[in-house]
Structure 1
Amino acid sequence: MHDNTLLALPKQHAKGIRNGLPSICSAHPLVIEAALRSGLENDTEVLIEATCNQVNQDGGYTGMTPADFRRFAEGIADKLGFDKSRLILGGDHLGPNPWKHLPANEALAKAATMMKAFVEAGFTKIHLDASMACADDPVALPPSIIAQRAADLAAIAEKSAGPVKPVYIIGTEVPIPGGAMEALDHLQVTRAEDAKETIELHRLAFSSRGLEEAFNRVIGLVVQPGVEYGHEDVIAFKPEEAKDLSAVLKDFPQIVFEAHSTDYQTLTGLSELVEDGFAILKVGPWLTFAMREALYGLDRIACELMDIPSVDTLEATMERVMLNLPKEWEKYYPGNATEQRILRHYSYSDRIRYYWPQPEAQKAFNRLMSNLEGKKIPETLISQFMAPVYQDVVSGKVEATPKELIIATIRKVVDTYARAARQI
């Protein structure tokens, strides 16, 4: 069963076997298809995660409940012939975050309902995250309260699970979803003593609820290893700065670290993270950033091949959509009009990803694909506008059709993670 893959990670690390597992955090069908095609080609399991804001009992911003998301991901797997028993579904940051504007008792009741929905839908990797303060909480919640709330949610998960019990991730060391908002120059790596305290407080909270057996399935702790990305910059992993944190794992052989915000790290950096025990590597915005690069490349190619009015390009359409619905970017992107326009389209935080499901954006995407369907795309234009996949096209590895070019571009990121995790 695929839960053994997760349970095996800490055991392997304790024995000196440095394997990892990429965590694909996206609800875009092209990204999920790219990840599953990588798994199919390389004969590996694939972990796909949904956050509490993306997917919940109220639909989240994708409009999907956990059961909907499972059907959605499994539908893509079926279409590709990917063995569904090798698809691992995870729930990320499961806790009161979507309802933190409510009093704690109300927000936690909704979080409990969400937890039940995720586990009943067959999500087997559960990140317990009760770190956010609710309306009537102190701004900084005491770590002991966070642990107790997480254990309460674990109790719900245990009651809701079928024969396959979930594995758990505890802790949180992440900024707002989508990366940091300010320019970055330094990050505080999680202190070793704080990591130990988090584990111990959760152990006590689980034990006080009779959940000792469930605590044996806590396989991961979210920490800050010193990696992050902002709108225009990336902080690279520096192993020497995280060596004290990495050493904590010697005392806790049942646990590995889960690293969030690993997007845009180099293959070397990602490999070093796995080597040092940050075995679960989250990636999200980089996948849709790569997809957007591919789509804009195809957009430029279409303009070269046919007479397309500038207002009908995909890029112009996305600009209109984002200006008409500024909620997902305006409070995140600072600067003058030019600086904001550049960030809207090209920021590492990739907040444009929230706009692809919009009807006008979907229409423009379909128009672009239709315009290029059946047309011979010259290799020279692929070299000019889609350079990352040029060699693969010339060698015959990738077919020069719109969809295959997009999938191949996303695969560059997916396969970087698979290599770092030693899956391929």
Structure 2
Amino acid sequence: MEYMLNLVRRHKAGEPVGIHAVCSAHPLVIEAAMEVAAAAGQPVLIEATSNQVNQDGGYTGMTPGAFHAFVHGIADRVGLARERVLLGGDHLGPNAWQDQSAGEAMAKADVLIEQYVTAGFRKIHLDCSMSCAGDPVPLRDDVVAARAARLCTVAERAWQAAGGEAPVYVVGTEVPVPGGAHEDLEELSVTTPEAAARTMASHRSAFAAAGLDAAWPRVVGLVVQPGVEFDHHKVIDFQPERAVGLSRMIEGVPTLVYEAHSTDYQTPANLAALVAGHFAILKVGPGATFALRETLWALADIEAAMAGDGKGCGFKDTVLDVMRAEPEYWRKYYDNDPRRARFDQQYSLSDRIRYYWPHPAIQAAQARLLASLEREAPPLTLLSQYLPAQYEAVREGRVRNRPVDLLKEGVARVLRQYMNACTTDACTAGAATRELEACQS
């Protein structure tokens, strides 16, 4: 992916530029991300995780090929040229099959990688940091690196068979848990420069041993822990002074930047500081769908107020009833007390509710909610009460007072913070556009 290689070159040359990866399969989140990128003159990077999308369908029911078609379909609807859509795979490895032996899980990871690359994904996060059944906990760096090199070999073979741009890779052993921490957090240990250097060296050695010298210059990102995370109700904010040594270490490596996971809910200033500290790839997922849920909840309150009975179509109750009846996606994470669980189902920053949006009953309830607000637009007084940011955008003529537009604006407000942190000015946006066109010509 020549665009990513050029981005890293620009960053290493001193430009405080980066890119954010939107890790979501929700169509409205993806659509909002595309509209934000188009307005900024930037490409959009959409990533699927191995739990969301895999050869068995993942929790979205989509294979890599189906997700590729799904995202491109949204781009066509939005009017964003397909070549401006960059696709990445997140946590690609044995993550979805950790309960199986390493041999079984890695065989499935081979298939996963092959399908992602064949489908057109060109930013590949090789994540073999998790222990499988029978493995020691934690795995040694050399074991993680050897497994990553194995998957890279599969990816290179799949790319050569499929053609197109060469993939770029992200590696690392200090990988945050996908979707945020499961336990309450007070403070995090920042990866030491020495640990980051060892991780990099172990992967470089494993790639060389696997005959992947030609692929190593396309390893653009190293996942480390800069000291950012979130649990159910707290955010651990980035403190640049704690990561100074880590930031300095990567300055001597000409082809690599850091990839920061779990940056959801960081402040705009923190996001900009991360990019300035060479955490130039920022991942966001639950933060975007949390904003979607906030907006849906507000629209449900608006609709209930307009109905005059305080209930309206009962959208919230439908969602929570489904979650109570089908607890698979939240039971391991939330308190067993029914009142506490009901609170966390709605308001936890880990946003386990995002797994339920595709449910047929919830989709039907959402359609009723949006149709009701489409028939009768919310009065400005209720927008001011429940969605003050959207109220201002409507008053200024930037957003239409329609439910889908209000929903997308809720997500876009979050994603614009990432876009602003990753771009320096309008000249940079123009340069990015020219680079992308040049890479694909």
Q: Give TM class, smaller chain.
A: over 0.9
Corresponding residue number in structure 2 for 1:73: 71
Q: Does the aligned pair in 2 maintain the 1:311–1:317 contact within 8 Å?
A: no
CA distance in 2 between counterparts of 1:51 and 1:172 reads 17
> Does 2:342 match 1:341?
yes
In the alignment, the residues of structure 1 paired with residue 278 and residue 8 of structure 2 have an alpha-carbon distance, to the nearest angstrom, of 8
Match of 2:149 in 1: 151
Instruction: Compute the displacement of 1:41 (Å).
Output: 1.6
Amino acid at match of 1:29: P
1:28 paired residue number:
26
Deviation by residue 1:354-384 (Cα, 9 ceiling, x = unmatched): 0111111111101101111131321110011
1:13 counterpart residue number = 11
Structure 1 residue 90 displacement after superposition: 0.3
Task: Give the corresponding residue for 1:321.
Answer: 322
Cα distance in 1 between the residues matched to 2:312 and 2:330: 22
* 1:124 counterpart (122, 125, 128): 122
State which of 53, 74, 82 in structure 1 corresponds to 2:51.
53
Q: Distance between the aligned counterparts of 1:163 and 1:27, measured in 2?
A: 24
What is residue 389 of structure 2 aligned with on the other side?
388
Deviates more, 1:133-142 or 1:391-400: 133-142
CA–CA distance in 1 between the matches of 2:416 and 2:354? 21
User: 1:151-178: per-residue Cα shift (whole Å, max 9, x none)?
Assistant: 0100000000023110000014334322
Structure 1 stretches (4+) deviating beyond 3 angstroms?
A: 307-312
Secondary structure of 1:140's partner?
coil
- Deviation by residue 1:165-206 (Cα, 9 ceiling, x = unmatched): 100000143343221122221100011111111111111111
Which amino acid is the alignment partner of residue 39 of structure 2?
E
Please name the residue that 1:251 is paired with: 252
Which ranges in structure 1 are unaligned for 5 or more consecutive residues?
A: none
- Give the conservation status (yes or no) of the 8 Å contact 1:19–1:274: yes
- What is the Cα deviation at residue 241 of structure 1? 0.1
User: Displacement, 1:332?
Assistant: 0.5
Q: 1:311 Cα deviation (Å)?
A: 8.3
Aligned residue-pair number: 422
Q: Distance in 2 between matches of 1:364 and 1:423?
A: 42
The 8 Å contact of residues 144 and 173 in structure 2, kept in 1 or not, is answered as: no
Aligned to 2:36: 38
Q: SS at 1:373's partner residue?
A: helix
Q: 1:216 to 1:264 in 2, by over 3 A?
A: same
Q: 1:402 aligns to what?
A: 403
Alpha-carbon distance between aligned partners in 2 of 1:50 and 1:316, rounded to the nearest angstrom: 29
Which is worse superposed, 134-143 or 286-295?
A: 134-143
What is the CA distance between 1:136 and its match in structure 2? Answer: 2.4
Q: Secondary structure at the match of 1:127?
A: strand
Distance 1:378 1:198 in 2: 56
Q: TM-score, normalised by structure 2?
A: 0.93
Structure 1, residues 204-260: CA drift from partner, whole Å, max 9, x if none?
A: 111112110101100000111000111110011000000011111122111000000
Q: Which residue of 2 aligns with 1:113?
A: 111
CA apart distance, 1:306 = 1.6
CA distance in 1: counterparts of 2:181 and 2:138, whole angstroms: 19
Contact 1:190 / 1:245 at 8 angstroms: preserved in 2? yes
Structure 2 unaligned blocks of 5 or more: 426-441
Question: Percent of pairs identical after alignment?
Answer: 48
Q: How well do the aligned residues superpose, as a CA RMSD in angstroms? A: 1.3
